[in-house]
Structure 1
Amino acid sequence: MQTKVTNFQGPSYNYLEDFITEIRSKGRYVLTLEEVKSKFNLSDKAVNQALYRLKAKKRIAQIRKGIYAIITPEYLRQGMVPPALFIDDMMQALNKPYYIGLLSAAALYGAAHQQPMEFFIVTEKPALRPIRNKKVKINFYIKKEWFQEDIRKIKTDAGNIKVSTPEMTALDLIYYQESIGLSRTLTILEELAGQMKPSILNQTVRRYPHVTAVQRLGFLLCIELQLPHLAAPLIKFIAEKKVLPIPLSTNKQRGGELNEQWKIIKNIELESDL
């Protein structure tokens, strides 16, 4: 049972510093406004003043309204801890299911080519506004549903985080290509391929809700990257679905040569950065 602290005799932010130490002892990097109000019997003004002092001392940094990252000494210079250390606690505080995906998932598998400057989260509706400030940039993408078989738990200093498997990461990169760019995606796929398994990919594509992403991924793996062992399970899947022709890039005009096997109109020239 949590004890509520009342009737302060000294500066309330000192008590908050002790509270932060208590939170860190549990392995957490997140402080929320709600838990401060629950713990301490303070007016809103007093709470805001205490939080302001802690921000000024660089003990905490605001992530979004009512949610703060606890800055530990090793991250004092940056003024922010890596998102992987606070994202799980933040999404729990927001009561939103999530997984780390796209470029951020690829980076965790060593396949980002260059470390992304932004963090990528997939969640459900209603949409969350992106987080944009000098210290952190987090993008939120919406998906109606996903299967737990396509999510891994990866251990960090703050506990487990949820990350899309390499196979679902590849499909998501294709599906959200307008945000990532196909040439960049091709480079990442080339690095990510070593982490992907044909047997798992075969199962993942059958759960994935967007067949067009499977078509485009199959074309890139088979034709552009020359990885027939990964493309093989997708060939059978596409044949079963009897798909219609679609353009490779959703950002370009439809004109281009049609690949009959994948029913892909190659309307863009791609080149990997590797």
Structure 2
Amino acid sequence: MPTLEQYIDTRLAHGRTYFSREEALDALDSSEIALTAAITRLIKKRRLAKPRHGFYLILRPEDQIAGAPDPARWIAPLAKYLGLNYRISLLRAAAFHGSSHQAAMVFQVIIPRQVRNFEIGRHRLEFVYQSPTAFQQVNRKDWLDTLKSDAGYAQVAGIELTLLDCARYFHRAAGINGVAQITKDLGVQADPHRLAQIAAYYENSCVRRLGYLLERAGHGCQAEALLPFAAKAKSAILLDPSAKPLVESLADEYENDPRWKLSINEPVEVDF
């Protein structure tokens, strides 16, 4: 029977840069104790990395400096191992679609289950929870795009879904100004009809927030597609509910945008 090192070399030769504990046990006919010892030894030698218990990454020489390959290369098999559907979104999706201002220092994945964030090497993975019902409604193939790497393909939110995710989880997307920048960069590429279709599954408040930012960025067609959602709103909300005034009485001085039924409690600034 092959050794663990021979097994991972064979995996690499076939373009597989990962394996599960169960797969290794089947292939090596090894005992649990012997396999654990061999895996531990190769992790110390920086030939393997462990993003999750029972799931291992095979490190090529060029991956060893960063401590792990780009998560885009292994998020799909990890999600399959965990029994989860997923989509890459927020800052990483914005960068993928061309929002050049987004450095995407964190790899953000939206999933329908609570999973702890973790760091591996220089990479930080953040799992953002969306309720299973809402996730199933919007995580459709025709609303997703494909991120290709040398190890295969990964699901990434399409332009419209990325914009709505950023408006919904704006505190994870560099705040309201970060979302404003993404909206400016990507809004012109959004299909207005598809944007309105997907918006029907999001909270009215985040749709209004996105509509306001699209309008400010000069993306009139896309903004107009979201205006019917603002018309349904009964009262104004804060543009940025996380921003609190230093003096409570100043809250009455906020500029109101009657078109989007928003209280503009935070100045919006973007780079041109």
Q: TM-score, normalised by structure 2?
A: 0.87
Contact 1:184 1:273 in 2 (8 A): no
Q: In terms of mean alpha carbon deviation, does 133-142 or 258-267 score higher?
A: 133-142
Residue 132 (str. 1) matches residue 123 (str. 2) = no
Residue 228 (str. 1) matches residue 224 (str. 2) = no
Q: In terms of mean alpha carbon deviation, does 230-239 or 260-269 score higher?
A: 230-239
Contact 1:103 1:112 in 2 (8 A): no
**Of 251, 255, 260, the match for 2:242:** 251
1:114-161 Cα shifts (integer Å, max 9, x gaps): 421110000012x00001244321000111223303222333222221
Q: In terms of mean alpha carbon deviation, does 61-70 or 256-265 score higher?
A: 61-70
Contact 2:233 2:261 in 1 (8 A): no
Q: Distance in 1 between matches of 2:255 and 2:26?
A: 63
Residue 75 (str. 1) matches residue 63 (str. 2) = yes
**Could you tell me the percent identity over the aligned residues?**
30
Q: Distance in 1 between matches of 2:229 and 2:54?
A: 46
Q: Secondary structure at the match of 2:3?
A: helix
Residues 43 and 52 (structure 1), Cα distance of their counterparts in 2 relative to 1, 3 Å cut = same
- Which residue does the alignment assign to 2:75? 87
Residues 69 and 229 (structure 1), Cα distance of their counterparts in 2 relative to 1, 3 Å cut = same
Q: TM-score, normalised by structure 1?
A: 0.87
**Of 151, 164, 168, the match for 1:158:** 151
**Structure 2 residue identity aligned to 1:250:** P
Deviation at 1:111, TM superposition (A): 1.1
Across the aligned residues of Structure 1 and Structure 2, the Cα RMSD in angstroms comes to 1.9
Contact 2:68 2:120 in 1 (8 A): no
Contact 1:29 1:69 in 2 (8 A): yes
- Which residue does the alignment assign to 1:11? none
Contact 2:89 2:162 in 1 (8 A): yes
1:201-226 Cα shifts (integer Å, max 9, x gaps): 122212x232211110001111x312
Listed as ranges, the gaps of 5+ residues in structure 1 are 6-13
Q: Secondary structure at the match of 2:74?
A: helix
Q: Secondary structure at the match of 1:162?
A: strand
Q: How many residues align?
A: 258
- Which residue does the alignment assign to 2:16? 28
The runs of 4+ residues in structure 1 deviating greater than 3 Å are none
Q: Secondary structure at the match of 1:193?
A: helix
Contact 1:177 1:185 in 2 (8 A): yes
Q: Distance in 2 between matches of 1:113 and 1:90?
A: 28
- Which residue does the alignment assign to 2:39? 51
Q: Distance in 2 between matches of 1:194 and 1:39?
A: 51
Listed as ranges, the gaps of 5+ residues in structure 2 are 246-250
Q: Distance in 2 between matches of 1:116 and 1:79?
A: 18
Residue 201 (str. 1) matches residue 195 (str. 2) = yes
Residues 67 and 243 (structure 1), Cα distance of their counterparts in 2 relative to 1, 3 Å cut = farther
